[in-house]
Structure 1
Amino acid sequence: MTTDNQFIFRDEDTNIELFIKREDLIHRFVSGNKFRKLKYNLLQANAENKKVLLTFGGAFSNHIAAVAFAAKADNFESVGIIRGDEIGDKIVDNPTLSFAQQNGMRFKFVTREAYRQKEETDFIENLKAEFGNFYLIPEGGTNDLAVKGCEEILTETDRNFDFICCAVGTGGTISGIINSTSPNQKVLGFPALKGDFLKNEICKFARNSNWELINDYHFGGYGKIDENLIAFINDFSEKYHIPLDPVYTGKMVFGVMDLIRKDYFPENSKILMIHTGGLQGIQGMNIKLKHKKLPLINTHV
Structure 2
Amino acid sequence: MNASDLAPLRPRLPSPLEQVDDERFARRGVRLLLKRDDLIHPDLPGNKWRKLAPNLRAAAGRPVLTFGGAYSNHLRATAAAGRLLGFTTVGVVRGDELAGRPLNPSLARCAADGMRLRFVDRATYRAKDDPAVLAEILRDAPPDTYVVPEGGSNAAAVRGCVELGRELAGAAEVVAVACGTGGTLAGLAAGLGPGQRALGVPVLRGGFLGDAVTALQQEAFGGRAGDWSLDERFHHGGYARTTPALEAFAQDFEARHGLAIERLYVAKMLYGLLTLVEEDAFPPYTRVVAVITGSEDGSNPRTPASEGGQSAASSR
By the TM > 0.5 criterion, same fold? yes
For residues 183-214 of structure 1, the C-alpha deviation after alignment (integer angstroms, 9 at most, x for no partner) is 31111100001112211111123342511100
Residue 162 of structure 2: aligned partner:
151
- Counterpart CA distance in 1 for 2:242 and 2:149 is 26
| SS of the residue 1:69 aligns to | helix
- Counterpart CA distance in 1 for 2:168 and 2:262 is 26
Task: Answer yes or no: is 1:160 the counterpart of 2:171.
Answer: yes
| SS of the residue 1:153 aligns to | helix
- 5+ residue gaps in structure 2? 1-12, 218-223, 308-316
Contact (CA 8 Å) 2:168, 2:192: kept in 1 or not? Answer: no
Read off the aligned partner of 2:301 and give its amino acid letter.
M
Read off the aligned partner of 2:238 and give its amino acid letter.
G
| SS of the residue 2:300 aligns to | helix
For residues 8-36 of structure 1, the C-alpha deviation after alignment (integer angstroms, 9 at most, x for no partner) is 12644432101110100111121000011
Task: Answer yes or no: is 1:5 the counterpart of 2:21.
Answer: no
Within 5 A, what are the aligned runs for 1:1-301? 1-9=13-21, 11-46=25-60, 50=62, 52-92=63-103, 94-132=104-142, 133-156=144-167, 158-206=169-217, 207-277=224-294, 279-280=296-297, 282-285=298-301
| SS of the residue 1:81 aligns to | strand
For residues 205-225 of structure 1, the C-alpha deviation after alignment (integer angstroms, 9 at most, x for no partner) is 334251110011011111111
- Counterpart CA distance in 1 for 2:273 and 2:26 is 17
- Cα distance, 1:37 vs structure 2: 0.5
- Counterpart CA distance in 2 for 1:200 and 1:53 is 27
- Counterpart CA distance in 2 for 1:142 and 1:91 is 29
Contact (CA 8 Å) 1:165, 1:188: kept in 2 or not? Answer: yes
Q: What value does the CA root-mean-square deviation take over the aligned residues?
A: 1.7
- Counterpart CA distance in 1 for 2:300 and 2:197 is 34
Read off the aligned partner of 1:107 and give its amino acid letter.
L
Contact (CA 8 Å) 1:2, 1:155: kept in 2 or not? Answer: no
Contact (CA 8 Å) 1:233, 1:246: kept in 2 or not? Answer: yes
For residues 81-137 of structure 1, the C-alpha deviation after alignment (integer angstroms, 9 at most, x for no partner) is 000111113343x11000000000011111111111110111111122211321000
| SS of the residue 1:154 aligns to | helix
- Counterpart CA distance in 2 for 1:284 and 1:253 is 18
For residues 267-300 of structure 1, the C-alpha deviation after alignment (integer angstroms, 9 at most, x for no partner) is 11000010111534x33315x57xx8xxxxxxxx
Read off the aligned partner of 2:14 and give its amino acid letter.
T
- Cα distance, 1:158 vs structure 2: 3.6
| SS of the residue 1:159 aligns to | coil
For residues 4-63 of structure 1, the C-alpha deviation after alignment (integer angstroms, 9 at most, x for no partner) is 1111126444321011101001111210000111111111100xx52x110000000000
What count of residue pairs does the alignment treat as equivalent? Answer: 284
Structure 2 vs 1, CA of residues 101 and 152 (structure 1 numbering), >3 Å: closer, same or farther? same
Residue 298 of structure 1: aligned partner:
none
Contact (CA 8 Å) 2:91, 2:115: kept in 1 or not? Answer: yes
Read off the aligned partner of 2:179 and give its amino acid letter.
V
TM-score w.r.t. the length of structure 1 is 0.90
Contact (CA 8 Å) 2:166, 2:193: kept in 1 or not? Answer: no
- 5+ residue gaps in structure 1? 293-301
| SS of the residue 1:119 aligns to | coil
| SS of the residue 1:285 aligns to | coil
Structure 2 vs 1, CA of residues 254 and 61 (structure 1 numbering), >3 Å: closer, same or farther? same
